[in-house]
């Protein structure tokens, strides 16, 4: 395991933070592209040995401190019998969930059995990556999976998802049972932490966030203490702080709109992951260095005790066609600047 990552989880002072990026094994990377030329996206995820090879690539090429399970958050919906096809326009389910077609769903037990390929992928990844690197897993948030199940998206007004109260109350217990067992699969196979990626949660009002998001986070973080991280996009400071204050998650991540310095100063437990704007990696090298230095300056001004738990990364995932040279430059610059 990686010592910097363990220090972040345990809030031990350290000058140089661990570094990982969401989607670090994605389409921008030649290693991924070479494998994608031989396999479909679904095969990359479902053949455990290949998923491990994809996850290993960015650790090998860019020296990230962590590897991340290579998979997709929508597979539990496929396990529930909703179908799933990856097209040029993105993932498409076989049907959109309604009260009328709800009986078409398979049981949670069938979905859990279907998800075992992720356990094997974690196991193979742990065996492939160096011993001094850490490994984390992930699942989609139950609310985000509900928005995909009902509207095949996780952003926008999400009017149907927000107002389909009876459907939501029927669906969430099922998907949460699947996620609970899926998290156990990943932890048993060697993941040190499992991130819950709840990209749609930022679309919720404070009342709905408290009603829909916090109960499951509180429950799952008690079942797996110090093993659950939580990320949401377009979130508010109030939402992030409520997760830290009202649940037992081991840390949080958020997008680039949030003031990282503010959250680091206010977070008194667990890790804080983020949050450089991923779009800025498209800048020419000199301009990119300038923007990264601007991001670094206020963080370097913090005393070590005020940036406990920081895991350096992006506000969201690495975008397709991001220059690999800037990914490497990000990693090298963070380590160099915080070593001074």
pLDDT tens-digit series, residues 88-99: 888 999 999 999
Spacing of C-alpha 278 from chain mean position: 15
Cα separation, 21 vs 11, whole angstroms: 20
Beta bridge partners of 68: 136
CA 218 from chain centre, in angstroms, equals 18
User: Which tokens hold the place of 57?
Assistant: 């690539």
Judged against a pLDDT cut of 80, whether residue 153 lies above it is answered with: no
Question: What pLDDT sits at residue 87?
Answer: 86
Instruction: Name the burial class of residue 119, with classes exposed (0-12), middle (13-18) and buried (19+) by CB atoms within 10 angstroms of its CB.
Output: buried
Per-residue pLDDT of 274-328, as tens digits, reads 999 999 999 999 999 999 999 999 999 999 999 999 999 999 999 999 999 999 9
Average pLDDT over residues 152-174: 91
**27-86, pLDDT tens digit by residue?**
999 999 999 999 999 999 999 999 999 999 999 999 999 999 999 999 999 999 999 999
**Average of pLDDT values for 138-162?**
91
Q: Check pLDDT > 90 for residue 174.
A: yes
SS3 content of the chain, % helix, strand, coil (to 5): 55, 10, 35
Report the predicted TM-score, pTM, of the whole model to 2 decimal places.
0.95
Return the pLDDT at 338: 96
In this prediction, residue 330 carries a pLDDT of 98
Give the per-residue pLDDT at 257. Answer: 94
Q: What is the mean pLDDT of residues 10-35?
A: 96
Residue 243: count other Cβ atoms within 10 Å of its Cβ.
27
Q: What is the pLDDT of residue 157?
A: 83
Round to whole Å and give the CA distance between 53 and 50.
Answer: 5
Domain holding 317, by residue range, is 3-339
215: CATH: 3.20.20.210
Residue 293: HSE in the Cβ half-sphere, 13 Å Cα cutoff: 6
Give the pLDDT band of residue 272 (cuts 50, 70, 90): very high
- Supply the pLDDT for residue 302: 94
Mean pLDDT of the chain: 95
Helix locations, the chain, DSSP H: 3-9, 30-36, 41-46, 48-62, 75-79, 108-114, 116-128, 142-151, 159-163, 165-189, 206-208, 214-223, 237-246, 260-266, 285-300, 324-339
pLDDT at 88: 81
For residues 156-182, average pLDDT: 95
- 209, 237 in Cβ contact below 8 A? no
- Give how many domains the chain has, as a whole number: 1
Q: How far apart are CA 85 and CA 83, in angstroms?
A: 7
């Amino acid at each position: 395991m990686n010592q910097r990552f363990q220090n972040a989880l345990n809030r031990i002072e350290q000058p140089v933070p661990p570094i990982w990026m969401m989607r670090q094994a994605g389409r921008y990377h030649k290693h991924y592209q070479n494998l994608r030329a031989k396999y479909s996206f679904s095969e990359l995820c479902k053949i455990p040995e290949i998923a491990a090879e994809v996850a290993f690539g960015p650790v090998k090429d860019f020296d990230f401190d962590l590897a991340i399970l290579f998979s997709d958050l929508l597979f539990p919906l496929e396990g529930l019998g909703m179908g799933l096809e990856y097209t040029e326009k993105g993932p498409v389910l076989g049907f959109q969930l309604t009260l009328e077609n709800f009986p078409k769903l398979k049981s949670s037990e069938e979905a859990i059995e279907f998800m075992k390929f992720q356990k094997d992928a974690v196991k193979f990844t742990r065996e492939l990556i160096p011993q001094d690197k850490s490994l984390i897993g992930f699942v989609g948030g139950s609310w985000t999976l509900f928005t995909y199940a009902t509207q095949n998206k996780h952003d926008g007004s999400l009017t149907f998802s927000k107002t389909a109260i009876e459907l939501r109350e029927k669906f969430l217990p099922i998907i949460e049972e699947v996620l609970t067992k899926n998290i156990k699969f990943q932890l048993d196979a060697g993941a040190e932490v499992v991130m819950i990626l709840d990209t749609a949660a930022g679309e919720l009002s404070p009342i709905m966030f408290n009603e829909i998001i916090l109960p499951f986070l509180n429950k799952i973080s008690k079942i797996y203490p110090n093993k659950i991280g939580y990320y949401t996009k377009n979130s508010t400071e109030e939402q992030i702080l409520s997760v830290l204050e009202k649940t037992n998650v081991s840390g949080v991540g958020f997008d680039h709109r949030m003031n990282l310095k503010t959250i680091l100063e206010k977070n008194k437990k667990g890790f804080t992951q983020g949050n450089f704007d991923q779009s800025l990696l498209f800048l020419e090298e000199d301009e990119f260095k300038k923007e990264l230095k601007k991001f670094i300056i206020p963080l370097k001004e913090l005393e070590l005790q005020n940036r406990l738990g920081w895991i350096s990364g992006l506000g969201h995932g690495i975008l397709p066609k991001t220059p690999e040279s800037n990914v490497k430059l990000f990693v090298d610059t963070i380590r160099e600047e915080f070593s001074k």
